[in-house]
A and B are shown apart, each in its own frame.
Chain A
Amino acid sequence: MSPRLLRRLPPLVLAGLFLAGWQGLHHALPPGRRFLFPSLPQLAEAFQVHGPALLGAAGHTALASLGGFALAALVAAGASLLLASSTLVRQALYPYLMGLQMVPVIIVAPILILWVGPGAPSVIIVTFLITFFPLVVNTTQGLLSVEQAHLDLFRMGRAARWQELLLLRAPAALPYFFTGLRIAAILAPIGALTADYLVGSTSGGRSGLGITALLFSARNEIPGLYATAVVGCALGFALVSIVSGLAWLALHRWHDSYTPSDS
């Protein structure tokens, strides 16, 4: 067997075991309760029946999570630069940032509906609120975690503050920023889905996966709910893959977390 095939084998075997386990669990339940955990064919059928609806809803949720995620990344980058600029600023602003993360979405939701109204903008705001904190904390940490020797070098070179920030602190913070992005990428689809559930538009054709789940739940469409969960996971994986790709592009040539390719 070729080594390449050998490397691909374990994940494939695991995927097979996972599917077999799923199907086994369905059959292990007493017949009266099997509806709680649909079999694989039932799940496939749900995808077939609700496919177009799920796809449309997934599109809306994907856009909202991307929007909230991108907005959070942008604002976090700017806020981190501000936070890293002085201890005083940091100490003064930190409690508010934490507060932003601590206010439960379930309380923000009705306020948002009153202010912005249900729909995509509200969903994006909630997604932003959920993903912002890990981004800003990690990036700020990165901007502050610069080696003393490098700071000495820049001081010796009589660097201006902006030069130190742009040429030293910002590149040094990139790995931390991407750690934050990875966490945010996992949170964003969950956030967008939850947000859609709470503040999404219910008018036909504009709802996301949250409203879809709400409808399935109301109609007792258990396989449909499971199908929604699978789509939500797929969105998360897609976003994480994009972020991993960007991280690779930005870091693989120099950062220790990527093994040297040619040396």
Chain B
Amino acid sequence: MIPPPLIHCQALAKRFDPAGPAVLGPLDLAVAPGEFVSVLGPSGCGKSTLLRLISGLLAPTSGALTIAGRPPGTLDDLAYVFQDATLLPWLRVEANVETLLRLRRVPATERARRRDAALGLVRLTEKARAYPRQLSGGQRMRVSLARALALEPRVLLLDEPFGALDEMTRDHLGEELLAIRARQAWTALFVTHSVAEAVFLSSRILILAPHPGRIAHDLAVELPYPRNQETRRAPDYLRLVAEVSARLRAVEPAEASAA
């Protein structure tokens, strides 16, 4: 039996200016539990808008959207990882990881348990007492990830979380993310600019086209998990990266591909 979709968009559309053109949609999308879906597309194709709609930060203009059968913004086990680490500079790492649990009035002992587990997952237990400014960019991003994981999420939304990091750190964090996913079963929607990252991480890739944002391609990535350094050299991986790159280039606006 096919499980019901966890994220379900039907004719979902968003326009910021009521009189202007739609930024996104109408768009149909069904994400099944356990999928790791990467969203690629040129700037302005509404990738982040899609994520913000699902998170409940933005309200849709029209169409239907449910997560686990419920309206967006009502789920306790949906977590969002922002483009920047967005840590609170006045809190130690441990308190930062607990921030969202504190907002949900989770009792202190339970908070501590989840915090320690999340810091363990991102391998930053020894930095629990540090302040954000004492960490490197990659470490901050891992704390940000730990803060999301502490919610023990069912859905994890990631908006270009590794975009500001160097390639080495980026690759490492990608591998770590997959290792964590093997231990915590969440469904991920991952916005990125990097084709290689998308192919490496995902079980499915959406390529959005702009004006208005719509799904141009919906591709399954049939590389076996667990994936590691070896995967990055596998012929299937390289072929997929080339294929996705070509398809992505085809949906870029004319002026961008001419340049």
Contact = CB atoms under 8 A, between A and B. Distances in A.
A211 B102 CA distance: 54
A159 B100 CA distance: 9
A19 B89 CA distance: 44
Contacts of A149: 82, 84, 86
Given A149-B84, A152-B82, A254 B103 contact: no
B60 interface: no
A55 B239 CA distance: 86
Interface stretch (B126-134, B195-203, B247-255): B126-134
A173 to B, nearest CB: 11
Main secondary structure of the interface of B (DSSP, over half): loop
Contacts of B11: none
Nearest to B131: A254
A158 to B, nearest CB: 7
Contact of A255 (B57, B73, B89): B89
A157 B90 contact: no
Given A152-B82, A254-B133, A256-B133, A163 B89 contact: no
B99 interface: yes
A171 interface: yes
Contact of B82 (A153, A159, A253): A153
Contacts of A254: 89-91, 131-133
B103 A152 contact: no
Interface string A140-181: 000000010110111111110001000110011010000000
A244 B88 CA distance: 23
A150 B86 contact: yes
B104 to A, nearest CB: 7
Contacts of B38: none
Contact of A171 (B55, B73, B90, B100): B90
B80 interface: yes
Contact of A152 (B57, B100, B104): B57
Contacts of A262: 134
Interface in B27-85: 55-57, 73, 80, 82, 84
Nearest to A256: B133
Nearest to B100: A157
Contacts of B56: 156
Given A167-B102, A254-B89, A255-B90, 15 more contacts: A149-B84, A149-B86, A150-B86, A150-B88, A156-B55, A156-B100, A159-B103, A167-B99, A167-B103, A171-B88, A172-B90, A253-B90, A254-B91, A263-B133, A263-B134
Interface of B: 55-57, 73, 80, 82, 84, 86, 88-91, 99-100, 102-104, 131-134
19 contacts: A153-B82, A155-B57, A156-B56, A156-B100, A157-B100, A157-B103, A157-B104, A159-B103, A167-B102, A167-B103, A172-B90, A174-B90, A253-B90, A254-B132, A254-B133, A256-B89, A256-B133, A262-B134, A263-B133
